[in-house]
């Protein structure tokens, strides 16, 4: 779980890590922004924007903020308080101010002051309102204050008043848009998860869900605030432990610990405490900024060794569930004599998920009901029937409603006649004895353990044991082209304490080499015993096995060890080692546990790459005269490679001649990525900043003993240690993609071993996470948990490698019945893709319609297993054998596209008919080469609001769905309007057309105003207002229900005529737009640059109309995609320029409105409202 991102330095801003992407728009009522002040390069709390003291500037995503003077030298990160929000700060210089650009309006601002390391006296003002006045605070003491202010000049301003220079230290600020006028509050949420008060939750994975948004004003659900507090015995909040404020998107109704930050006594942790009482609370915020009352739910976290229950809501019908005995055969219940014997997977309340009953003694009667309404913690009920029932141990395997394969491990069962035995099911499939009267899981009495302990978090994958009985298995290396015989070597495994095992094609395990250490590896574990044989690779030319190990240097027990690279030879086709040759003997480079020599690989250049730890001496890492803390590159015959970045034969062969990259701490694991030909590595940090990085020739990775240096050249840093120890890429170039689907190709899978020799699930490790990278190796997604440990034993995840039939990993320790980590009993496991039941072949294209030449990027999205070839036909005679080709259509037409794949599933083929329409504008519905009213507007109106998601591309266009989003709506109407205008656009510049778009409209007034134009320019604009528009160009759809308005043709010049046309549209809207909330809505779509004037009498609800005349400066100017509301009681004319189109909303109740104060805004600063979702 990621608690915070890394605050980027100015030079590192281009590789900022996981800063949440915010919508590209100005802050609106109900929106929430969080800003943390601190030192560049320090941690950044999750979901916070960072301010490192730079002067006011744009920061992307439509956001501008910063200081009046450079404060970068006043930013601090104290390294004292585990709560990163409080540990960082900026000293406010005398007379300085900090500003955040906002639309004028009302805002609730929460700020924190204090210094984790030093006492001070603080003064802070927000828009002139005092939040703190000369407040003295001791070191590591903080105060938070909330004030509500009005922003009148477009910027929220914070300053320290008359406080002395640098006395005030600000930690963070929250900014929330709130209603400017009276507004009803939403109803309190209904909490669905945790499911009930007293719920027992996993401290690292608390499911939080709330539903039931209801607002008296018809406002929409903007975002939510979630909190978790420690609780007293009565369930009352004591101390805030976790929070996420103003979270939007799906997370506003379903969130996780990783979406927020742990604070207070929980700060710095990755999860909640075990065996602790908590209370969760949530409130909803509407689109006007009003918040609901809090809804609360008490829960407790389980004990550290507690099993966590399985949570499912359905059993899939395909593939069919299986119930097998120890021999792998089916369990068949006896034919009933009276009451049937039966196994039932059910909710505690008796809701049936799956029922298997005795039938005729040859097959069972299986009933698989519909999904339950909610996720439940299921139990197994086994009924003896009229004759009783005796069963040996058995396994029930099924796919749940999410597509994840589950196996339930049932014990031997002996049920008396007409009796029922109950078993609770844990997340790993282990079963525990239950009772009929229990309504909640009881994991106090184990019936049968899970044989795996690991679970996949994505559907379609199965975990299998392929080898067992191993002792501290570290890494795995496959034979590139194994022989065909059952006793031919398939892969090799290093065991830490001096052995290499070989696994044959038939799965049998044999010793390849033993006694590879010259010392007795009996040190403390965890501790000095954590060293020995580590890395392994098979030379594809000779079949030799190359390993890395530490070697006793002086023969003294407990003395120095140094690293070696060793080649193991064989004379029996790789079944056993006949001797060894030391390739590189690094005497004098002292190493110890963990920080030893580790991964070894052969690069695409045929050279040997060796990962060498710093031996717990950070000074060696940046020293090119030491081999430690480096990734070394050498020839397979042990010589230094002459094209290494620091090679210099003139001074003899030294350490620097072998150095490929330097500045590492303990680069345990590595893997080559075929897409860019680069090596990638993972390593542990000193209590923080574990690192995942791309290894580049000659580069320094900065390790100097300081945790912050581990961020150098990192793709990703784990802020809290998860102990990543290996990484592997699934890719077509390695065993054809290992049988994984295309969606998992070119994905890095990293192992997090977590705390050494830890019991049960761990929030900081014991899992496999995956990363998606871009073409240059920058982070796109991740880490995303793929597999995690859910058992109750000691197993973890160590080495990982892509194999011919899946992803293989080591679990390092014996899992169950554990006594000693060095005992035999550890395993090699395989993650195998078995499919989800989804269509095995699928593909998509990015630009399916447009003028030619049309370039389309096709993407294979197949779920087919082990695909080895792709064959595309594009309908115009073109073909490709690439997996994801780009094809250019040069001839206009409508084309079918076919993809055929060959893989484990055999030959699969899919044709999408009329999939690409090339050579025409998408708005040209009938592809006649002309965008016009007679056909194209008529087609769109005839199909208005139609769902086109099931239609072909050609049929979608014919219906008017020109953006191909599956519905004919205002987005399409707007695009059609723009196409009509483009078809009739003038080619000369018109007087008053200040933005040179071919029309004289409201946008030109804004350009004149912004640029300080002259009075004569304004007169020219008034005289020519409307020029460039035609009847076809101003045709539009009014966004009320499915109505359309055809505007009559008039002169192309003259304010009065154009205003009359717009007024006709406005009147059509107003006739249907009267609302029950006391406001009337003018909602105009698709009209650009026209002035609408509407007046409302004070004594009647009847709508009146008044043309605007020539008083241009009394109008308010709005950007496109606007709607506005006027109070019924207003008697003064209100004016607005409407520029563009509005978004379609599901109902009038969801329309956004400009509040009364919009019309009080300055004429010099016209009210400008940003689009909510810019689709164009």
Q: What is the pLDDT of residue 1019?
A: 78
Give the pairing type, strands 254-255 and 199-201. Answer: unpaired
Give the architecture (CATH level 2) of 190-301: Sandwich (2.60)
Taking Cα atoms as reference points, which of 710, 803, 703, 807 lies closest to residue 750? 807
SS3 3: coil
Q: Is the dihedral of CA 173, 179, 184, 186 positive or negative?
A: negative
The Cα–Cα gap between 986 and 1053 comes to: 14
Token match 């189109």: residue? Answer: 1141
Q: What is the pLDDT of residue 252?
A: 82
Cβ 826 vs Cβ 473: under 8 Å: yes
- Residue range 125-167, pLDDT digits in tens: 999 999 999 999 999 999 999 999 999 999 999 999 999 999 9
Q: What is the pLDDT of residue 724?
A: 95
686 pLDDT tier (thresholds 50, 70, 90): confident
Token match 């709390």: residue? Answer: 45
Name 997's bridge partners: none
- Residue range 776-795, pLDDT digits in tens: 999 999 999 999 998 878 89
- Residue range 714-724, pLDDT digits in tens: 999 998 888 99
Cα end-to-end span (Å), the chain:
36
1063: part of which helix (H) or strand (E)? helix 1055-1070
Q: What is the pLDDT of residue 891?
A: 93
Tokens of 478: 């496959």
Cβ 1050 vs Cβ 1033: under 8 Å: no
Helices (H), 1025-1158: 1055-1070
Token match 């020293």: residue? Answer: 623
Output phi, psi for 208, to 5 deg: -125, 120
Tokens of 358: 């005795």
HEC letters along 103-150: CCEEEEEEEEEEECCCCEEEEEEECCEEEEEEEEECCCEEEEEEEEEE
pLDDT (average), residues 4-23: 32
The Cα–Cα gap between 1006 and 563 comes to: 71
The CATH homologous superfamily for domain 843-962 is Immunoglobulins (2.60.40.10)
Cβ 720 vs Cβ 4: under 8 Å: no
Using a pLDDT cut of 70, give the percent of the chain over it: 81
Residue 194 has pLDDT above 70, yes or no: yes
Tokens of 1143: 């978004």
Using a pLDDT cut of 90, give the percent of the chain over it: 51
718: part of which helix (H) or strand (E)? strand 714-718
The Cα–Cα gap between 757 and 814 comes to: 10
Distance of CA 570 to the CA centre of its chain: 47
- Whole-number average pLDDT of the chain: 80
Output phi, psi for 1005, to 5 deg: -60, -40
| 239 compared with 460, residue with greater pLDDT | 239
Q: What is the pLDDT of residue 862?
A: 80
Cβ 750 vs Cβ 770: under 8 Å: yes
953: part of which helix (H) or strand (E)? helix 953-959
CATH classification number, 4-177, choose in 2.60.120.430, 3.10.20.90, 3.40.50.150, 2.60.40.1580 = 2.60.120.430
Taking Cα atoms as reference points, which of 536, 473, 535 lies closest to residue 809? 473
Q: How many Cβ atoms from other residues are within 10 Å of residue 308's Cβ?
A: 22
- Residue range 319-376, pLDDT digits in tens: 899 999 888 889 999 998 889 999 999 999 889 999 999 999 899 999 999 988 888 9
pLDDT (average), residues 529-545: 93
- Residue range 1055-1094, pLDDT digits in tens: 333 333 333 433 333 333 333 333 333 333 333 333 333 3
Tokens of 588: 């004098």
Question: Is 843-962 in the same CATH topology as 190-301?
Answer: yes
DSSP conformational letter for 291: B
| 200 compared with 67, residue with greater pLDDT | 67
Tokens of 683: 């390593």
C-alpha distances in angstroms, 554 versus 519, 551, 584, 739?
10, 9, 17, 48
Q: What is the pLDDT of residue 989?
A: 56
SS3 947: strand
Cβ 1013 vs Cβ 1006: under 8 Å: no
Distance of CA 222 to the CA centre of its chain: 20
The Cα–Cα gap between 242 and 36 comes to: 17
The Cα–Cα gap between 667 and 791 comes to: 28
| 6 compared with 92, residue with greater pLDDT | 92
Quick one: the chain helix, strand, coil %, rounded to 5?
10, 40, 50
Q: What is the pLDDT of residue 758?
A: 76
Angle at 293 between CA 290 and CA 295, to 5 degrees: 135
Q: How many Cβ atoms from other residues are within 10 Å of residue 32's Cβ?
A: 22
Cβ 490 vs Cβ 482: under 8 Å: yes
Residue 607 has pLDDT above 70, yes or no: yes
Q: What is the pLDDT of residue 169?
A: 96
The Cα–Cα gap between 519 and 557 comes to: 7
Q: What is the pLDDT of residue 499?
A: 96
Token match 């199909």: residue? Answer: 943
The Cα–Cα gap between 47 and 260 comes to: 7
C-alpha distances in angstroms, 291 versus 174, 225, 748?
15, 9, 42
The Cα–Cα gap between 800 and 476 comes to: 7
Taking Cα atoms as reference points, which of 555, 630, 528, 556 lies closest to residue 589? 630
522-549 residues labelled b (16+ CB within 10 A) or e (exposed): eeebeeebbbbbbbbbbeeeeebbbbbb
Output phi, psi for 245, to 5 deg: -110, 130
Q: Backbone dihedral region of 423: left (phi > 0), alpha (psi from -120 to 50 degrees) or beta?
A: beta
The Cα–Cα gap between 975 and 963 comes to: 8
Token match 């070191």: residue? Answer: 139
- Residue range 463-490, pLDDT digits in tens: 989 999 999 999 999 999 999 999 999 9
The Cα–Cα gap between 53 and 67 comes to: 7
pLDDT (average), residues 961-990: 74
pLDDT (average), residues 501-507: 95
| Residue boundaries of the structural domains of the chain | 4-177, 190-301, 322-450, 452-471+672-684+721-836, 843-962, 1002-1160
- Residue range 1103-1155, pLDDT digits in tens: 322 223 222 222 233 333 333 333 333 333 333 333 322 222 222 222 222 22
Contacting residues for 153 by C-beta, under 8 A, at least 6 apart: 104
């Amino acid at each position: 779980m990621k608690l915070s991102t890394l605050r980027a330095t100015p030079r590192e801003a281009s590789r900022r890590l996981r800063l949440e992407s915010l919508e590209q728009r100005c802050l609106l009522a109900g929106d929430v922004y969080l800003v943390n002040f601190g030192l560049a390069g320090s941690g950044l709390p999750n979901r916070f924007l960072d301010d490192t003291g730079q002067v006011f500037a744009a920061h992307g995503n439509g956001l501008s903020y910063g200081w009046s003077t450079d404060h970068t030298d006043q930013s601090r990160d104290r390294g004292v308080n585990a709560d990163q929000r409080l540990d960082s700060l900026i000293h406010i210089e005398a007379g300085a101010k900090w500003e955040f650009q906002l639309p004028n309006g009302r805002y609730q601002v929460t700020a924190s002051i204090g210094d984790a390391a030093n006492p001070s006296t603080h003064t802070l003002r927000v828009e002139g309102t005092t939040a703190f006045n000369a407040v003295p605070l001791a070191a590591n003491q903080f105060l938070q204050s909330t004030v509500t202010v009005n922003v009148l000049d477009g910027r929220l301003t914070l300053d320290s008043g008359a406080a002395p220079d640098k006395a005030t230290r600000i930690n963070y600020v929250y900014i929330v848009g709130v209603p400017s006028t009276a507004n009803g509050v939403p109803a309190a949420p209904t909490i669905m998860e945790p499911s009930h008060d007293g719920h027992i939750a996993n401290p690292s994975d608390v499911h939080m869900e709330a539903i039931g948004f209801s607002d008296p004003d018809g406002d929409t659900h903007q975002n939510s605030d979630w909190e978790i507090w420690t609780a007293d015995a009565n369930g009352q909040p004591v101390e805030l432990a976790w929070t996420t404020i103003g979270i939007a998107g799906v997370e506003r109704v379903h969130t996780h610990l990783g979406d927020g930050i742990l604070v207070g006594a929980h700060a710095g942790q990755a999860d909640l405490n075990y065996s602790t009482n908590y209370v969760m609370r949530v409130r909803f915020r509407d689109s006007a900024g009003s918040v609901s009352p809090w809804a609360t739910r008490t829960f407790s976290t389980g004990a550290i060794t507690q099993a966590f229950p399985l949570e499912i809501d359905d059993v899939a019908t395909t593939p069919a569930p299986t119930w097998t005995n120890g021999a792998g055969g089916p369990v068949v219940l006896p034919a009933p004599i009276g009451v049937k014997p039966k196994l039932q997977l059910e909710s505690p309340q008796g809701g049936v998920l799956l029922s298997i009953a005795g039938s005729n003694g040859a097959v069972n009667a299986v009933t698989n009901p519909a999904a339950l309404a909610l996720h439940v913690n299921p139990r197994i009920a086994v009924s003896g029937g009229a004759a009783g029932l005796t069963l040996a141990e058995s396994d029930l395997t099924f796919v749940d409603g999410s597509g994840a394969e589950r196996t339930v491990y049932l014990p031997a069962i002996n049920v008396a006649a007409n009796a029922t035995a109950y078993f609770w099911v844990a997340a790993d499939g282990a079963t525990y004895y239950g009772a009929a009267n229990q309504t909640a899981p009881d994991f106090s009495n184990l019936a049968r353990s899970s044989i795996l302990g690991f679970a996949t978090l994505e559907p379609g994958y199965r975990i299998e044991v392929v080898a067992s009985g191993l002792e501290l298995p570290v890494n795995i290396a496959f034979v590139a082209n194994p022989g065909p015989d059952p006793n031919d070597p398939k892969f090799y495994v290093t065991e830490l304490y001096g052995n290499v095992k070989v696994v044959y094609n038939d799965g049998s395990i044999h010793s390849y080499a033993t006694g590879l250490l010259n010392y007795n590896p009996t040190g403390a574990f965890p501790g000095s015993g954590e060293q020995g044989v580590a890395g392994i690779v098979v030379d594809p030319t000779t079949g030799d096995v190359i390993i890395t190990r530490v070697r006793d240097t002086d023969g003294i027990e407990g003395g120095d060890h140094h690293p070696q690279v060793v080649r193991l030879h064989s004379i029996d086709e790789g079944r056993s080692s006949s001797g060894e040759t030391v390739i590189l003997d690094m005497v004098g480079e002292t190493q110890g546990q963990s920080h030893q020599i580790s991964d070894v690989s052969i690069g695409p250049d045929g050279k040997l790459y060796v990962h060498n730890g710093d031996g717990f001496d950070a000074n060696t890492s940046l020293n090119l005269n030491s081999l430690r803390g480096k990734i070394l590159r050498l020839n397979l015959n042990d010589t230094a490679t002459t094209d290494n970045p620091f090679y210099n034969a003139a001074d003899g062969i030294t350490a620097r001649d072998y150095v490929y990259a330097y500045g590492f701490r303990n680069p345990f694991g590595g893997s080559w990525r075929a897409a860019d030909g680069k090596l990638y590595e993972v390593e542990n940090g000193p209590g923080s900043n574990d690192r995942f990085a791309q290894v580049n020739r000659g580069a320094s990775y900065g390790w100097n003993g300081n945790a912050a240096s581990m961020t150098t050249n990192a793709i990703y840093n784990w802020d809290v240690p998860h102990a990543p120890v290996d990484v592997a890429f699934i890719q077509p170039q390695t065993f054809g993609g290992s049988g994984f689907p295309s969606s998992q190709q070119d994905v890095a899978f990293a192992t997090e071993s977590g705390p050494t020799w830890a019991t049960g699930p761990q929030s900081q490790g014991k899992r496999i996470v995956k990363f998606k990278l871009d073409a240059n190796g920058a982070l796109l997604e991740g880490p995303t948990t793929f597999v995690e440990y859910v058992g109750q034993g000691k197993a973890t995840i160590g080495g990982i490698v892509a194999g011919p039939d899946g992803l293989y990993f080591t679990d390092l320790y014996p899992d169950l019945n554990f006594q000693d980590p060095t005992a035999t009993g550890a395993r090699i496991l395989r993650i195998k893709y078995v499919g989800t039941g989804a269509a095995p072949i699928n593909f998509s294209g990015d630009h399916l319609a447009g003028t030619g030449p049309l370039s389309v990027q096709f993407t294979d999205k197949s779920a087919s297993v082990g695909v080895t070839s792709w064959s595309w036909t594009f309908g115009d005679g073109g073909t490709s054998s690439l997996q994801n080709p780009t094809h250019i259509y040069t001839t206009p037409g409508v084309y079918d596209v076919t993809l055929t794949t060959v893989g484990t599933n055999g030959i699969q083929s899919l044709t999408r008919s009329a999939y690409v329409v090339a050579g025409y504008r998408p708005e040209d519905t009938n592809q006649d080469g002309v965008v016009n009213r007679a056909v194209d507007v008529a087609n769109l109106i005839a199909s208005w609001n139609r769902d086109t998601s099931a239609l072909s591309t050609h049929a979608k266009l014919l219906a008017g769905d020109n953006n191909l989003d599956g519905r004919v709506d205002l987005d399409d109407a707007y695009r059609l309007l723009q196409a009509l205008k483009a078809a009739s656009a003038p080619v000369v510049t018109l007087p008053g057309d200040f933005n040179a778009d071919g029309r004289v409209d409201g946008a030109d007034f804004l350009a004149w105003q912004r640029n300080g134009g002259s009075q004569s320019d304004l007169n020219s604009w008034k005289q020519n207002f409307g020029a460039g528009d035609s009847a076809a160009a101003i045709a539009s759809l009014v966004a009320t229900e499915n109505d359309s308005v055809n505007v009559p043709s008039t002169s192309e010049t003259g304010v009065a005529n154009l205003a009359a046309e717009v007024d006709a549209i406005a009147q059509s809207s107003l006739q249907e737009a009267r609302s029950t909330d006391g406001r009337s809505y003018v909602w105009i779509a698709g009209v650009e640059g026209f002035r609408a004037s509407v007046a409302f009498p004070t004594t009647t609800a009847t709508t009146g109309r008044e043309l605007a005349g020539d008083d241009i400066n009394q109008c308010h100017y709005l950007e496109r995609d606007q709607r506005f509301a006027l109070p019924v009681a207003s008697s003064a004319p209100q004016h607005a320029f409407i520029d563009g189109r509005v978004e379609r909303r599901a109902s009038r109740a969801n329309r956004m409105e400009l509040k009364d104060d919009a019309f009080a805004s300055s004429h010099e600063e016209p009210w400008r409202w940003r689009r909510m979702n810019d689709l164009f």
